[in-house]
Structure 1
Amino acid sequence: MNAPLQAELDTTLRTVVDEMSAATAQLVIVLDEEREALNSADASALNRAGEAKQMLMRRLEQLDAERLHIVATSAHAAQEVQPAWGDLLKTLTTCRDKNQRNGALVGRRLSQVRRALSVLTGSGNDTGIYSHSGELRAGHRSLPLAEA
């Protein structure tokens, strides 16, 4: 590969990895905001965080596809960004951990809501029953057998 083309690939890959690093840093912030919204039960903040998280994930997917294309074209370019790539992977691991933590919190809250609904509806710990049409319905302790 000629030197000018190699230099261009090196520069392009560096730019892509830098953009990925910036998006990942933003994702860390958004995941922290999501956690705060979950803790404070702020639905509008949670929606904003969810939208921002989706946008950043789409951007990261696009950038990663571009990165993979460049790396497949030039091993030299991949070697040039290796230190920055290692840092990016560490930040992505942090994002994964924060996202899993937020997901666990959502799961706990959902379980609490289901238990509260169970108490309010008197359905106990039933997981539900299937109707004649195959739809899952919440079970009830007692159902009327007939009406007069």
Structure 2
Amino acid sequence: MSTPAPPGLADALAAVVADMRAAATELATVLDAEHAALTAADVLALDHAGNRKQALMQALELHEAERRQLQSMAPASAEPTGWSEVLRLLALCQERNLRNGALVGQRLTQVRRALAVLTGEPEPGTYGRGGGLEPSARVQMRARA
């Protein structure tokens, strides 16, 4: 026979899940703003988005810890109301964050190439299949010419 849930537990769990849903929704919006800032090279907007993103991630971590604690006190049952929506939103945030990370990687590569051209230094190599440092394709092409 299972023990009944403490009074108010379901409401507390629903409130935490609602807070997580709100934070994840805002995070998705902030990630879109971050993408726009990256695309426009708007440093101030990028800084603001980064700060907001960090605050939302911290809030989500706190909510998740609280949700786990409450869930551990609940009898084994179905997932809390709204939980599948939170998971969907978090997956969306992950996709957007990966998209933004790829854009940052592209920009970083462009900056490194521009610096290599300006300084006359060869571009840094990449790690090859064997784990050793290999020159980049651009450096290899110069060597063949």
Q: Under a length normalisation based on structure 1, what TM-score does the superposition of the two structures give?
A: 0.78
CA drift of 1:126 comes to: 3.9
In structure 2, the CA distance between the partners of 1:79 and 1:110, relative to structure 1 (3 Å rule), is same
Correspondent of 2:90 among 89, 92, 107: 92
Task: Identify the residue that residue 25 of structure 1 maps to in structure 2.
Answer: 25
- How many matched pairs? 123
- Read off the aligned partner of 1:103 and give its amino acid letter: G
Task: Identify the residue that residue 79 of structure 1 maps to in structure 2.
Answer: 78
- Gaps of at least 5 residues in structure 1 are 128-148
Matches within 5 A, 1:1-148: 1=3, 5-6=6-7, 8-75=8-75, 79=78, 81=80, 83-127=81-125
Q: Deviations over 1:53-102 (max 9, x none)?
A: 000000000000000001111035x6261x51111101100000000000
In structure 2, the CA distance between the partners of 1:67 and 1:126, relative to structure 1 (3 Å rule), is closer
- Gaps of at least 5 residues in structure 2 are 126-145
Q: Under a length normalisation based on structure 2, what TM-score does the superposition of the two structures give?
A: 0.80
Task: Identify the residue that residue 139 of structure 2 maps to in structure 1.
Answer: none
Distance 2:51 2:65 in 1: 21
Are the equivalent residues in 1 in contact too, given 2:38–2:46 (CA < 8 A)? Answer: yes
Distance 1:84 1:63 in 2: 14
Give the number of the structure whose alpha-carbon radius of gyration is greater.
1
Identity of matched residues, % = 45
Distance 2:20 2:46 in 1: 24
Distance 2:97 2:124 in 1: 30
Are the equivalent residues in 2 in contact too, given 1:28–1:94 (CA < 8 A)? Answer: yes
Task: Identify the residue that residue 141 of structure 1 maps to in structure 2.
Answer: none
Partner of 2:123: helix, strand, or coil?
coil
The Cα RMSD (Å) is 1.5
Are the equivalent residues in 2 in contact too, given 1:10–1:80 (CA < 8 A)? Answer: no
Partner of 1:49: helix, strand, or coil?
helix
Distance 2:30 2:110 in 1: 25
